[in-house]
Structure 1
Amino acid sequence: MAVTGRIDGTPSDVWNEEVLAPQFAHEAAHLLSHYVAIERALLREYLRMGLVDAPGAAALDARLGSLDADAIRADPRRNMSDISFALEYHVQSGPTPPFAAWHVDRSRNDAQVCAQLMAARTDFAAVATDLLDLGRAVTALAARHTDTPMPGYTHGQAAQIITPGYHLAALAAETNGALRRMLHTYDETDACPLGSGAMAGQELPWDRARLADHLGFARVQPHALVGVASRTWTTSMASDLAGHAAVLSRFTTDLMTWGGSGFGFLDLPDDLAGISAAMPQKRNFPVLERIRGRCAQVVGRAGDLTAGQRNTPYSNTVEVSKETGVHLHTQAVAMRSLLRLTHAVVTGVTYRTDRMRTACADDHLGGFTLANRLTLECGIPWRTAQIVAGRYVRRAVEKGLRADRPDAELLRACAAESGHEAEPADLLLAESFDIDRGLRAKRSAGSVHPDRVGELLADEERELRRLDAEWSRRATRRTEAARRLDTPATVRESA
């Protein structure tokens, strides 16, 4: 089947092997079902416009229904290794030739971007599903550790007493934030480009709103040039995924640090652990390194998608749509992989509460509380109270005193040097450096206090349920549209 009269010959071997055949394979694997859905939606419009009768539409619809990745292949001579031409050849080589007007007033440009956007929506929604699963696992684990003390770190140094539940509640909040941003992006990009033509619109009275509805879109992309030229939807989706991947890499870094032999605050099961080939005593957690490495892949693909569009003309180009656009699927695959791995870690991790409590006791993490109490209960000006508390901690460390073995005389001496009294010194020190009391010393909303963390988690669980319902509604719209397209186009449609 000749596909053009404009040029003679067929694609060269190098052009086919390096570009066309790999592109064809990618589209056959990831876009073909969307191309078929687009063709079936267009067929219903041809039927509505009276360009085909019901029997002709039914025959073509059946032929389209038989199309899958096994039915077509890249062929430089038969279809120029182009999936749109391969689809045409499959239909035209069937037992019933298509009606004469089939594909009249059509362009590959808007069909291509429509298929790409449909595939991207599917990938994006799948990432959201994985994020919802992770959010549920994170909140469940956090709820079990709202009163398990551990050191919290700033600038790489032990700073204040926190809990794993508090730390995980932050991840739950970040997860819900990512889901909200993704939902906004999904809705912003849920506009059907089909009917935009090559760039300037089409000549037949296509009902673009019906096309959008057939394909599960919320609305039509109103500007034809935006429909075929814009790839803002790719950078918006990629930015959402990259942003959350960066967040996950930071939480993973914490787990890597706390799981190392220098801390030993957490453990992973054997089925998530690794070994050293040379050092039999070692038990490694390479899964955390893999997660962080895949976070880098997700972030990198966002940069590729933006760089690939920079300085290109605002029209349909293969540089943007194919060479660059493929990175979005690659990014989604990496994102889903790291989310599944992270889910496995969250459901498998065990916190070593004894070592975390010992680490709290070894350090003087109540210094902030002591300074506050010196001001509020002893009347020592706040900056001076900071000096007194800091001086006490420095000298206690020099004497080798742990926080749970305070020295009241030392505190009195430190206060006296600043011209103040710190009484009752024994009670001030005992209560300031008490580990469990330290968790409950924070009272503000959003703090580490176990009750406040419980409130945070309850809010995040409610929000997670709401977001789950929102994403489910959008999935239902796509599913119902696909079900309608599966109904044979055999009835003449009215305008």
Structure 2
Amino acid sequence: MHKPWEGRFREKTEEFVEEFTQSVSFDRRLAEEDIRQNLAHIKTLLKAGILTKQEAHLLEKHLLDILKEVQEGSFPFRKELEDVHMNIEAELIKRAGEIGGKLHTGRSRNDQIATDERLYIKREIKECVILLKNLRKELVRLAENSIDIIVPAYTHLQRAQPIRLSHYFLAYREMFLSDELRLINAYRLADASPLGSGAVAGVDFPFDRFFTAQELGFRSLVRNSMYATSDRDYLLDTLYACAVIGMHLSRLSEDLILWSTQEFSFVELPDRLCTGSSIMPQKKNPDVLELIRGKTGRLYGNLMSLLTTLKGLPTAYNRDLQEDKEPLFDSIDTTKKCIEAMNLILEGLSVKADRTTPPFGDPMTATDIANYLVMKGIPFREAHRIVGNLIAYAISQGKNLGDLSLREFKEFSELFEEDVFELLDPRVVVDRRKTYGGTSKQEVIRQIQIAKREEGVR
């Protein structure tokens, strides 16, 4: 196999160097994007008068044959040809003869790989967006089915205030909606064509870059040829979006792992999505959720890997950029699998409503009791102190607030009346949160209706 640069060299490349520098073992994944780019470049060469119609037709025919073999998994990728670009070009020359050697006219692998990656990013982001939408639909379904289930909300992992479980699921729906916006931003940054920038300085053929961009479905052009071939910011944005998705999935996993323990027993995970122990027969382990949580570290690592690779590069293309692909491919694959895994978990999740509802008199209603005093004219800080003393007293007596008499309440403030006992019911307290985005039944139903419209759920 002849190497495209061998005219300059007088020694054969060491096998070790071939193995060390090859990227086709992983960038072969870009083969369909590379062929799609080649087909567009053929049209550009034809428009510029570099190819005849007959030559263009011949090259297109062979490229489509190669594409079919790639899709069937029968195309013979060779490591000695280094990368996906040279593998496809070498095969094209083999089949079309010397006319195949015209394909690389006015093009460098520098703008070629940048184009392939941008095409790949656009395709994969579309798939991630669909998966996120499916996940959000499942969260909306859960929210709609759990409107009347009350659960404790935790801050500092301590019981804070009662909420509707629907409110919890809608919170994650908002997180995954913001994740979609991050992906869309990465898509927009990638949606510009670098093709026609050459190695670094542009090309000296009469190429219509706008025509090529349109053929490839790009919204615009990368305007500076040096930036076009060395920019990987769109990859960073994609890896960042994947890392944040992973973080959100990890937090949801952590909640469900805790809630599925015997100590909480708020939810039951389906047996088919759990595993057991090799030694302890009673165990039912939430391994899928734990792996989602664990794989988030890989997503962070991939982002930091590429950031570190890029930070020391001199301007324009450097071979270090070959190291951008494996973190990218791994993050895309990991993110998609984790979203799908979480969707399966949520589909099979069952809630133990009898275990989730806080009891009458639970101290989680303390803020509402303080606000009760505020409405009677006491400054909030003073009301906070009074209720804090009241709770400390109840704890010292081994009681919850529901066990106290009105006389005991009045020992802390004469403003307490019989109606204060209404505020010891978590269900009553939840429905007092009627502000926009709150957890009252009325507001949660409104949020669900909006979410269903936005997600296209009937």
Report the TM range for the smaller structure's normalisation: over 0.9
Q: Which residue of 2 aligns with 1:471?
A: none
Q: Which residue of 2 aligns with 1:409?
A: 407
Q: Which residue of 1 aligns with 2:442?
A: 451
**Match of 1:427, as an amino acid?**
D
Counterpart mapping for 1:285-304 below 5 A:
285-304=286-305
**Match of 2:422, as an amino acid?**
E
Alpha-carbon shift at residue 99 of structure 1 (Å)? 6.5
Q: Aligned to 2:310, what secondary structure does the other structure show?
A: coil
Flag the 1:82–1:153 CA change in 2: closer, same or farther, 3 A: closer
- 1:182 and 1:360 map into 2 onto residues whose CA distance is 42
Task: Decide whether the 8 Å contact of 2:249 with 2:339 is kept in 1.
Answer: no
Flag the 1:436–1:102 CA change in 2: closer, same or farther, 3 A: closer
Task: Decide whether the 8 Å contact of 1:158 with 1:363 is kept in 2.
Answer: no
Q: Which residue of 2 aligns with 1:356?
A: 356
- 2:296 and 2:104 map into 1 onto residues whose CA distance is 43
TM-score normalised by L of structure 2: 0.93
**Match of 2:183, as an amino acid?**
M
Counterpart mapping for 1:66-465 below 5 A:
66-67=65-66, 68-69=69-70, 70-76=74-80, 79=81, 81-94=82-95, 97-98=98-99, 101-320=102-321, 322-357=322-357, 359-361=358-360, 363-377=362-376, 379-415=377-413, 421-424=414-417, 426-428=418-420, 430-465=421-456
**Match of 1:335, as an amino acid?**
T
- 2:127 and 2:10 map into 1 onto residues whose CA distance is 44
Q: Deviations over 1:175-232 (max 9, x none)?
A: 1111122212211320011000000000111111111111111111111111101111
Q: Deviations over 1:154-175 (max 9, x none)?
A: 1121111012211111111111
- 2:103 and 2:35 map into 1 onto residues whose CA distance is 14
Counterpart mapping for 1:43-54 below 5 A:
43-54=42-53
Considering Cα pairs closer than 8 Å and 6+ residues apart, tell me whether 1 or 2 has the greater RCO: 1
Q: Which residue of 2 aligns with 1:482?
A: none
Alpha-carbon shift at residue 370 of structure 1 (Å)? 0.9
Segments of structure 1 that go 5 or more residues without pairing to the other structure are 416-420, 467-495
**Match of 2:305, as an amino acid?**
D
Quote the RMSD (CA, aligned, Å). Answer: 2.0
Flag the 1:230–1:195 CA change in 2: closer, same or farther, 3 A: same
- 1:205 and 1:360 map into 2 onto residues whose CA distance is 77
Flag the 1:283–1:363 CA change in 2: closer, same or farther, 3 A: farther
- 2:79 and 2:370 map into 1 onto residues whose CA distance is 78
Q: Deviations over 1:122-157 (max 9, x none)?
A: 222221111111111111111211231111111121
Segments of structure 2 that go 5 or more residues without pairing to the other structure are none
- 1:465 and 1:212 map into 2 onto residues whose CA distance is 33
Flag the 1:85–1:385 CA change in 2: closer, same or farther, 3 A: closer
Task: Decide whether the 8 Å contact of 2:191 with 2:218 is kept in 1.
Answer: yes
Task: Decide whether the 8 Å contact of 1:366 with 1:432 is kept in 2.
Answer: yes
Q: Deviations over 1:428-487 (max 9, x none)?
A: 1x2111121011111211111122122223333334459xxxxxxxxxxxxxxxxxxxxx
- 1:74 and 1:181 map into 2 onto residues whose CA distance is 37
**Match of 1:10, as an amino acid?**
K
Q: Which residue of 1 aligns with 2:35?
A: 36
TM-score normalised by L of structure 1: 0.86
- 1:243 and 1:71 map into 2 onto residues whose CA distance is 36
Q: Aligned to 1:161, what secondary structure does the other structure show?
A: strand
- 2:361 and 2:333 map into 1 onto residues whose CA distance is 44
Q: Deviations over 1:72-124 (max 9, x none)?
A: 32153xx3x33333222211221554177443222111111111221122222
Q: Aligned to 1:367, what secondary structure does the other structure show?
A: helix
Task: Decide whether the 8 Å contact of 1:149 with 1:360 is kept in 2.
Answer: no
Q: Aligned to 1:306, what secondary structure does the other structure show?
A: helix
Q: Deviations over 1:394-423 (max 9, x none)?
A: 2222223234444222111122xxxxx134
Alpha-carbon shift at residue 310 of structure 1 (Å)? 0.8
Flag the 1:388–1:101 CA change in 2: closer, same or farther, 3 A: closer
**Match of 2:161, as an amino acid?**
Q
Which segment drifts farther, 254-263 or 402-411? 402-411
Which segment drifts farther, 401-410 or 122-131? 401-410
Alpha-carbon shift at residue 360 of structure 1 (Å)? 4.0
Q: Which residue of 1 aligns with 2:10?
A: 8
Which segment drifts farther, 191-200 or 323-332? 323-332
Task: Decide whether the 8 Å contact of 1:110 with 1:198 is kept in 2.
Answer: yes
- 1:384 and 1:49 map into 2 onto residues whose CA distance is 81
- 1:132 and 1:107 map into 2 onto residues whose CA distance is 38
Q: Which residue of 1 aligns with 2:19?
A: 17
Flag the 1:370–1:289 CA change in 2: closer, same or farther, 3 A: same
- 2:175 and 2:455 map into 1 onto residues whose CA distance is 11
